[in-house]
Amino acid sequence: MMDRPISVIVLEHALEVKRTQIRALEAEAAELERAIGKLQGGGASEKAQEPANFIDRELPATPVVDQEKAVEDDEEYPAIKFKGMSRIQIAVVLARGFDGYLTTGAFRKVLSKPGVLKSTRQVASVASRVLKFSDKFIRISEGLYRLKD
């Protein structure tokens, strides 16, 4: 015979499931804290020095904020270089120039240069949609994509 009522057993099982979910969320939060520390330049904690483990994803070694400044330089990324290329081809060329990573902001700035696209209307939407729905890129975080190998 049962010593405990079935409702107690069900509630204990539900509690164990929730505890497992909490442990998983705590591990994910610790990974995100390490990634943030890495992007902010290391920080003082030892945890910030460890590499982030995002399901076979790595964060770029160079700050992604510099991409937008770099694409403004007309010597390295002139508009004529991208003339006649499709949007996804432009994204791939840019990502290869930035070690396989591309931000939507940098992509938007290149697309908005005169002569790259026929129409520069709603460039931000076009840039994010190209990266989001392309099978050539993996989304790392909001506004950051990695080129698939």
- Whether residues 78 and 142 share a domain: the answer is yes
Please indicate, yes or no, if residue 54 is contained in any of the structural domains: no
Angle (CA) 54 148 52, round 5°: 15
d(CA 123, CA 55): 31
- Whether residues 71 and 131 share a domain: the answer is yes
Quote the number of domains for the chain: 2
CB 103 within 8 A of CB 67: yes
Question: Between 8 and 23, where is the model more confident?
Answer: 23
Torsion of CA 11, 16, 18, 19, to 10 degrees: 140
Please indicate, yes or no, if residue 136 is contained in any of the structural domains: yes
For 25-76, write each residue's pLDDT tens digit. Answer: 888 888 888 888 888 875 544 444 444 444 444 555 545 556 777 777 666 6
- Whether residues 43 and 75 share a domain: the answer is no
- Whether residues 73 and 143 share a domain: the answer is yes
- Residue 3, both tokens: 């010593």
Residues of the domain holding 100 = 66-147
